[in-house]
């Protein structure tokens, strides 16, 4: 049975070259590039045999190997999935799940990435060949390494094809990926600001020591630890590598068995009873628009993806300030809430674009601009109220001084109200292309142009400018006289209320006058 799977795999690999044309040319170029990279890596591994600093070689090998292993596990989650090697394709052939699991597991070793990984892993034996015992352990680790990560790639690929088959699941996974990438920004900032001449080797060694005890880095540290005389650590990490292979193999077998008896993943459809928000809000234009906006924000991924990304901005800012030493840990507690409020008030600055051509219902029915502007802000207001109420208390607790509570409240309320007022103007005056209704939250149109940058930058900068006065008073209260805290509260409330009211009025006027232009914009971006 395994032989049949191997013949199927070889036939699949050969079919790509038989297509000819640019597809075949691309495969050949990619293959040559992969071979060149593999040759360079093998040459570096062989040259490291005579390196004077074996500990540094071990550290670099652990970090680089862990990154490669992590790539084998993560990349298949977002790649294109071939149904030929999906366990569900063999559910009707009378094969046992054990046969399918073994067959597909074996053919995962028949690929260009598997060949490159095998060669590079075996060359780590050359790296530690100056120590015979270390070379033996490195060989065993290489034998364990290749099936571990190739089977891991097969596992995550099948898991993605099975669990991420719906659009909502794919959007959720894409959102998580974006969150992870954004959360890595403080780490990148730390590396960029690190004094590598003085602390670089220490950081590399510390990171490698930590990574070497994880499933991703243990297999790569076996030879280096043995060469350094740490036979206990080398044996323990080899055991971790073997256990990792066993866990991945068991997970692969279990997933195969489950997929073969679950050919289709059924999507549960939720039945909604009643009118929802439309039955709870007043039966007036502003209430109807608020109900529709609240429904959209609760069900449409284009909206909640924005909210998931908002908390990352204060996190990145706080970490960057702490790492750089620009602000001490005590004062940095005052920063997260105003930054959160800044982006919460800003998320509605392009709300009209998210309606698509459905905006014609507002225009054709003669809905007034004031009702439209107020109704669209309902979801953001419902988010902002508990955020400010709870956030100000938590900020005062983190800062350790209740005298700062009025000032934090003033700045936060000012930022939210100012952002909502300016968003009411920009969404009617300068809408730009957004993901269409029903599309993924990440499917942004390519013809957005400079209008998008202008609308985003201007609305955000103006919010910062108007909120600058209470923010300056907060700073004066912290570093000069606490009497500024009370003044900050009234200044923030006053400025925020004025900008909010004026922004609602100006946005309503722009909406009433630009109805045809807004409809034309919706048709262009449909």
The predicted pLDDT at position 296 comes to 81
pLDDT over 80 (residue 211): yes
Mean pLDDT of 56-60: 85
Q: Residue 481: how many CA atoms within 13 Å on its side-chain side?
A: 4
In this prediction, residues 290-294 reach a mean pLDDT of 85
User: Can you tell me the mean pLDDT for 471-492?
Assistant: 87
Which residue, 166, 141, 152, 125, is CA-closest to 68? 152
Q: Is the pLDDT of residue 259 over 90?
A: no
Residue 239's pLDDT band (boundaries 50, 70, 90)? Answer: very high
The Cα–Cα gap between 225 and 228 comes to 5
Residue 243 is predicted with a pLDDT of: 94
Given a contact cutoff of 8 angstroms between Cβ atoms, the answer to whether 421 and 502 are in contact is yes
User: Given this model, what pLDDT does residue 418 score?
Assistant: 92
Query: What's the confidence (pLDDT) of residue 17?
Result: 59
Q: Which of 97, 92, 104 is nearest to 158 (CA)?
A: 104
pLDDT (0 to 100) of residue 497: 92
**What is the distance, to the nearest Å, from the Cα of residue 400 to the centroid of all Cα atoms in its chain?**
33
Where does residue 304 rank: exposed (0-12), middle (13-18), buried (19+ CB within 10 A)? Answer: middle
Task: List C-alpha distances in Å: 182 to 178, 192, 308, 340.
Answer: 6, 16, 11, 16
Q: HSE (CB half, 13 Å, CA atoms) of 266?
A: 5
**CA distance to 267, 307, 335, 444, per residue, from 338 (Å):** 40, 15, 6, 28
| Between residues 246 and 132, the one the model is more confident about | 246
In the chain, the percentage of residues whose pLDDT exceeds 70 is 78
Virtual torsion, Cα 283, 286, 290, 292, nearest 10 deg: 70
The answer for 21, left when phi > 0, alpha when psi is -120 to 50, beta otherwise, is: left
| Joined tokens for residue 315 | 């996190």
d(CA 73, CA 383): 37
Half-sphere exposure for 152 (CA within 13 Å, toward CB): 22
Q: Are 221 and 237 in contact (CB under 8 A)?
A: yes
Span 187-204, pLDDT tens digits: 655 555 556 566 667 777
Q: Of 114-128, 317-331, 351-365, where does the model show the most confidence?
A: 114-128
> What is the residue-averaged pLDDT of the chain?
78
Give the per-residue pLDDT at 516.
82
Q: How far is CA 446 from CA 132, 171, 266, 522, in A?
A: 58, 19, 33, 15
Residue 298: is its pLDDT beyond 80?
no
Residues 317 and 326: their CA atoms lie apart, in Å, by: 11
Q: Which of 161, 117, 327 is nearest to 259 (CA)?
A: 161
> Would you state the pLDDT for residue 458?
81
pLDDT for 265 beyond 80 = no
d(CA 174, CA 179): 9
Mean pLDDT for the stretch of residues 359-380: 84
Domain residue ranges of the chain, discontinuous segments joined by +? 2-260, 279-524
Q: How confident is the model at residue 505 (pLDDT cuts 50, 70, 90)?
A: very high
The DSSP 8-state label assigned to residue 195 in this structure reads -
339: nearest Cα among 457, 419, 403, 453:
419
Mean pLDDT score, 345-356: 81
Instruction: Give residue 501's pLDDT.
Output: 93
Q: DSSP letters of 272-291?
A: P-S-GGGGTS-SSHHHHHHH
More confident residue, 26 or 498: 498
Q: Is the pLDDT of residue 312 over 80?
A: no
**Residues 302, 303, 305, 306: is their CA dihedral positive or negative?**
positive
CB 134 within 8 A of CB 226: yes
**Which range is most confident: 72-81, 277-286, 503-512?**
503-512
pLDDT for position 12 = 64
216, pLDDT greater than 60: yes
Return d(Cα 356, Cα 428) in angstroms, integer. Answer: 13
Number of neighbours of residue 489 by Cβ within 10 angstroms: 22
């Amino acid at each position: 049975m395994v032989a049949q799977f191997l013949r199927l795999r070889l036939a699949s690999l050969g079919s790509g070259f038989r297509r000819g044309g640019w597809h075949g040319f691309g495969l050949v170029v990619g293959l040559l590039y992969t071979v060149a990279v593999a040759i360079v890596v093998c040459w570096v591994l062989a040259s490291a045999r005579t390196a004077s600093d074996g500990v540094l070689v071990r550290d670099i090998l652990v970090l680089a190997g862990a990154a490669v292993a992590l790539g084998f596990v993560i990349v298949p989650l977002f790649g294109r999935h071939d149904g030929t090697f999906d366990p569900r394709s063999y559910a009707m052939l009378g094969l046992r799940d054990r046969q399918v699991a073994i067959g597909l597991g074996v053919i995962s070793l028949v690929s260009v990435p598997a060949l490159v990984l095998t060669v590079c892993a075996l060359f780590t034996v050359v790296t530690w060949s100056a120590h015979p015992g270390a070379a033996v352990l490195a060989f065993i680790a290489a034998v364990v390494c290749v099936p571990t990560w190739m089977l891991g790639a097969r596992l995550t690929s099948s898991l993605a094809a099975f669990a991420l088959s719906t659009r909502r699941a794919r959007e959720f996974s894409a959102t998580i990926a974006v969150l992870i990438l954004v959360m890595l920004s403080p780490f990148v900032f730390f590396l960029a600001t690190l004094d590598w001449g003085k602390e670089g080797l220490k950081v590399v060694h510390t990171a490698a020591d930590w990574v070497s005890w994880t499933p991703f880095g243990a297999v790569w540290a076996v030879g280096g630890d043995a060469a350094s005389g740490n036979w206990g650590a080398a044996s323990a990490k080899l055991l971790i590598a073997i256990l990792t292979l066993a866990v991945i193999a068991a997970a692969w077998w279990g997933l195969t068995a489950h997929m073969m008896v679950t050919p289709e993943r059924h999507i549960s459809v939720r039945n909604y009873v009643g009118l929802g928000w439309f039955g709870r809000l007043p039966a007036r234009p502003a209430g109807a628009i608020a109900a529709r906006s609240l429904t959209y924000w609760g069900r449409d991924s284009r909206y909640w993806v924005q909210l998931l990304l908002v908390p990352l901005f204060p996190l990145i800012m706080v970490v960057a300030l702490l790492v750089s030493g620009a602000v001490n840990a005590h004062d940095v507690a005052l920063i997260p809430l105003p930054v959160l409020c800044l982006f919460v008030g800003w998320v509605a600055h392009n709300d009209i674009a998210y309606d698509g051509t459905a905006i014609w219902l507002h225009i054709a029915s003669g809905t007034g601009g004031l009702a439209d502007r107020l109704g669209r802000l309902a979801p953001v207001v419902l988010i902002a109220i508990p955020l400010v109420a709870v956030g100000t208390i938590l900020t005062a607790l983190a800062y350790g001084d209740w005298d700062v509570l009025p000032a934090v409240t003033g700045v936060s309320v000012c930022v939210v109200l100012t952002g909502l007022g300016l968003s009411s103007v920009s969404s009617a005056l300068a809408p730009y292309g957004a993901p269409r209704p029903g599309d993924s939250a990440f499917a942004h149109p390519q013809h957005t142009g400079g209008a998008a940058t202008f609308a985003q930058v201007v609305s955000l900068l103006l919010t910062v400018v108007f909120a600058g006065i209470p923010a300056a008073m907060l700073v004066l209260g912290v570093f000069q006289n606490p009497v500024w805290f009370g003044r900050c509260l009234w200044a923030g409330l006053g400025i925020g209320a004025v900008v909010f009211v004026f922004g609602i009025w100006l946005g309503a006027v722009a909406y009433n006058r630009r109805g045809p232009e807004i409809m034309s914009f919706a048709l262009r971006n449909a």
